[in-house]
Structure 1
């Protein structure tokens, strides 16, 4: 089970990776827009402040242009950069070609089992089904994840499900329970996964009892 951070905010990345459990970072053009800096500057900053893979999405729609763009992205760090490519005929062709060079690929914008099958046949290392967007459009995302996982196991595909697009922690948990190998989540959801009022209440009680214990020891002395 791998956990990725879906952001290009450098402060969030610093804080998230300081905990030490994250596998890497995923980005897309919308996330880069929020960062407000050039893609190249953002890539460099993320690489400096994170560990593991950094998936960067191509924006070209033709095979030749996708390959040119992918090679430009790989020039930043061929070992840590993964190429994120939408599932289109040209995108699948590019994934298959990049696989020949052992480049890590993520087939993204997956909304159906058929897209997941095509991506696995092409050799994608990961696929990114969009959970919340599926549910917003009347698709049973959890059933799709179950179906994909079952097909992957039946056919011994090595492609992993890296689910994306979450609204809340409950969606994340249901998706993992359904069979997703990994998830990529916002920094806000990452923080929410730690939060529980009972934990806060317990910690407060522990602190109070610790103070009481030390006071008791002082009295005895």
Structure 2
């Protein structure tokens, strides 16, 4: 399973990139709004900071209601960083988003269909040509549904139907989520830097390092 970082904060992106485990960045207008910067400018900055990752997401705005409007915005987003081929267009899981996904995928543009909460939605997105599908497990957990089980079912369906779309486990809240979605068959987990820090640590590791340091002295 690969790791994307879910943020628009450049400092967190730089720290995750230096570790050497980062394969991509997911953002959305809400995350960029927290940074008090123009959306397009921050996407361009992210692309420059992570030159060799496979994907940097750029989401169409809620103002884009129709497929045509989404496609128009997508064409502008693709050119933010001079046509950088790692820019992935993030689209909503609805009929208009699927139509835009089919068109953009046909043009060779990477797409990520987001806000997926059922297996059938993931199937539709994959058939529309989505590069990535993003089930939101944390939000399902919030309403007492099993988000990891959804990831497992999507992974099994894609295996049986021989679908190429990659599963991005999104809305990951804590280290146990990371372990469980990896075992469930997610291709990618997109997580905040705080969770990356958490999964790198264990008290016995800290104790061992401290003991080695003491013994060396």
Question: TM-score, structure 2 length as denominator?
Answer: 0.94
Name which of 175, 181, 189 aligns with 1:169: 175
- For these two proteins, the number of residue pairs brought into alignment is 211
Q: Post-superposition shift, 1:47?
A: 1.2
Q: Distance between the aligned counterparts of 2:132 and 2:94, measured in 1?
A: 15
1:75 and 2:79 matched = yes
Name which of 98, 113, 120 aligns with 2:119: 113
SS at match of 1:162: strand
Q: Distance between the aligned counterparts of 2:65 and 2:199, measured in 1?
A: 36
Q: Distance between the aligned counterparts of 1:179 and 1:7, measured in 2?
A: 23
Q: Distance between the aligned counterparts of 1:114 and 1:178, measured in 2?
A: 17
Bigger Rg, which one: 1
Name which of 189, 194, 202 aligns with 1:188: 194
Equivalence for 1:207: 213
Q: Write out aligned runs for 1:48-197 (5 A).
A: 48-51=48-51, 52=53, 53-59=55-61, 60-77=64-81, 78=83, 79-197=85-203
Q: Distance between the aligned counterparts of 2:134 and 2:190, measured in 1?
A: 9
Q: Distance between the aligned counterparts of 1:132 and 1:81, measured in 2?
A: 25
Unmatched 5+ stretches in structure 2: none
Cα deviation code 1:114-150 (max 9, x no counterpart): 1000001001011111111011122221221111111
Contact 2:4/2:191 (8 A) holds in 1: yes
SS at match of 2:210: helix
Provide the aligned C-alpha RMSD in A: 1.0
Bigger CA drift: 135-144 or 195-204?
135-144
Unmatched 5+ stretches in structure 1: 212-221
Question: TM-score, structure 1 length as denominator?
Answer: 0.92
